[in-house]
Chains A and B, each alone.
Chain A
């Protein structure tokens, strides 16, 4: 592993209270907010000099959270509740929820209730936003983002200007572009610049640190990657589909078995950064907010969306990545209790199978080890020569 990537873990922590990036930001008298879902407009916070940190969750045992929430919810979200109950979110000044999935909506209310940050806001995401619904969904989400902006301004005691939002969008778009370069470097079949595990570590880091500083580091990493002499992947080139993981074990496991994750549509992966915000020609506050909303509603969809043929749209993204990064097989590793992914999965698996793409599917709770993933992935890699699919 690149030494510079190993060093990234020093600047953040899965527990926000332990994060050096959070400590550094707060030492400058600035605010830090936590969020769970990618539909939260990070740029608005960054424009107000607030550091947005995504909840990464952790592969910890649940001790107290079961007293507050049933186990019928992804382990990821329950570990955030656990962190709060264990006083691990005390450094967060605020939290912003987004109603993407209903389980997330439910548990986020308890997280906010029990962690009790000084600022709490919630965004309702329109779920049906294509075709005839595009106009009203856009209008609704614009109002939601404006509410967030206004409430941030009240909290901060100052206005967030168009110039600040424009600058934040520029910084975030630059991050997106650099991450796409990282993906291209990893996906290079002849001479990969990064391994799958390294990219997973970069993604964990990037959502926890200030993006302007991160962009400088990303450029350094890309320069180093360009000089590397990593051998081509001998085994299978895997596309990984799902949400996020509480560690990087699955990436490492696939590499240990001779393959590599060369592509993904994880929410802590390509779905986080794939689509830029299109900067408006006339960057007024209203136009900038509209641009942010358009990006949220037009980006590679989360499975929580209910517009017509969302699963088909998700598949289109996967298919493009399969071609772009010469993928040999797809692994669906989805959190148990994630309804929206579980709904889309049968159709997506069948379509990929019909295209002749080998597919493995399993559910994850706390860790990959708990899902007995090693055995399943080993079997998959062995069977893939026969172009078989394994679901479980």
Chain B
């Protein structure tokens, strides 16, 4: 098939350049483990249970989502998506799920294809949580079935925080339900790895997870500076260490290096546009199209920078609550935060999107509506309406998928971006 026109991003942060070698090395280790069986491999869901895996030194967690994003960045997803669709999975299902399923069903056996990192190994066990979306649980169950029920699976069903409560005032049974499942997951991993739970190690993992989150959040706060020290083209790529290694020193080291670099830029007044006037500041909302991260560099043409994202805010939970002395509760609150972030849309539009838009002094929002991601997408038109009517901030609503480039039309997308930028520039001129 012919290649869909997309743009690769250009990075300007040095720390970003550390990410790909880290990921490559990680996949190399995973493929080595397949050979020497020195560790147990597991599939985990994004931003969720990875902390639990790092409690055990003989577990190597793998992220199908990251693999899917990497396949997308390399424009390798269409054949895998078509395998899944050929097997009967609807095209409107999550692109991550379809790509991963296509890989498992047939893609992994194609010897003439070189996948990112040498490919995603088959795991020894599966764990997932519904913090980012409930669909993950269905996805992991389907993976369990595709793998012939030979790979054990444990799910943490993180409850949706009903509108009667807030993240700060949770009913006891919400916390209790999540904590019990965390304990269940740790027991499950212990059974598979043959290891007793080391509670000191658990506390250390919680401490490190919280520290990396806090550093990342500090970095995020630095991005409020004008001019913007780091755009989305870098920030989105810097998520991987936080996602993959939450609970390890590696994540802390990376987050610190990133924070230091961004701080140095802010102190020096150095912006993404390298001396050019920063005319427009934007908030990018939702999972990005990984196959065309150059989209963010394209904005620079209008002296515009995507200065903050809703998506990156999902992955760092610090809020001063990762308490090593309360490891289970800290982890539960982290996972509940993820669920709140994704599903409590009536609240997040004000306390998250609007707050960020104001704090980061943005002129406009670009929301990317993903047809495969119902929970992160359905609300977007209402959100756009609220942002316009109550906060006076306009939204450009684009539609597509995060890893499926087949419905992406570069020309029309840029056409709409051009019009949006011109409108924002004109609006700003009139305001001043």
CB pair B378–A73 under 8 Å, yes or no, is: yes
Contact with A along B339-371 (1 / 0, CB 8 A): 000010110000000000000000000000111
Q: A69-B379, A69-B382, A105-B343 are in contact. Are A343 and B138 (CB under 8 A)?
A: yes
Which of B89, B153, B176, B382 meets A308, CB within 8 Å?
A: B153
Which of B145, B153, B177, B378 meets A140, CB within 8 Å?
A: B177
User: Measured between alpha carbons, how far is A66 from B370 in the docked complex, in Å?
Assistant: 15
CB pair A72–B371 under 8 Å, yes or no, is: yes
CB pair A136–B88 under 8 Å, yes or no, is: no
Q: A68-B385, A310-B141, A339-B94 are in contact. Are A136 and B379 (CB under 8 A)?
A: no
CB pair A151–B177 under 8 Å, yes or no, is: no
Which of B88, B130, B142, B174 meets A349, CB within 8 Å?
A: B88
State how many angstroms separate the Cβ of A139 from the closest Cβ of chain B.
Answer: 7
Contact with A along B64-82 (1 / 0, CB 8 A): 0000000000000000000
Which of A103, A121, A128 meets B157, CB within 8 Å?
A: A128
User: Measured between alpha carbons, how far is A67 from B142 in the docked complex, in Å?
Assistant: 34
State how many angstroms separate the Cβ of B186 from the closest Cβ of chain A.
Answer: 13
User: Measured between alpha carbons, how far is A101 from B130 in the docked complex, in Å?
Assistant: 12
CB nearest neighbor in A for B384: A67
CB pair B163–A120 under 8 Å, yes or no, is: yes
Contact with A along B166-189 (1 / 0, CB 8 A): 000001011011001100100000
CB pair A106–B160 under 8 Å, yes or no, is: no
| Most chain B CB atoms below 10 A, which of A67, A137, A304, A337 | A337
Report whether over half of chain A's contact residues are helix, strand or loop; otherwise say mixed. Answer: helix
Contacts of B346 in A (CB 8 A): 109-110, 113
CB pair A68–B382 under 8 Å, yes or no, is: yes
B292 adjacent to chain A (CB < 8 Å): no
User: Measured between alpha carbons, how far is A126 from B159 in the docked complex, in Å?
Assistant: 7
B194 adjacent to chain A (CB < 8 Å): no
B144 adjacent to chain A (CB < 8 Å): yes
Contacts of B184 in A (CB 8 A): 132-133, 136
Interface residue count for A (Cβ, 8 Å)? 54
B87 adjacent to chain A (CB < 8 Å): yes
B380 adjacent to chain A (CB < 8 Å): yes
Contacts of A73 in B (CB 8 A): 374, 378
B381 adjacent to chain A (CB < 8 Å): yes
State how many angstroms separate the Cβ of A284 from the closest Cβ of chain B.
Answer: 20
Q: A308-B141, A308-B153 are in contact. Are A102 and B177 (CB under 8 A)?
A: no
User: Measured between alpha carbons, how far is A133 from B174 in the docked complex, in Å?
Assistant: 15
B147 adjacent to chain A (CB < 8 Å): no
Contacts A137-B157, A306-B157 known; list 15 others, CB within 8 Å.
A69-B382, A70-B380, A73-B374, A102-B134, A102-B375, A124-B174, A136-B181, A140-B159, A337-B92, A339-B92, A339-B94, A339-B135, A342-B89, A343-B93, A343-B142
28 CB contacts below 8 A, A to B, read A67-B382, A68-B381, A72-B374, A101-B374, A102-B133, A105-B160, A106-B374, A109-B345, A120-B163, A122-B163, A124-B162, A126-B157, A127-B137, A133-B155, A136-B180, A139-B173, A139-B176, A144-B173, A151-B164, A308-B141, A310-B141, A336-B92, A339-B135, A340-B138, A343-B138, A346-B88, A347-B142, A391-B88
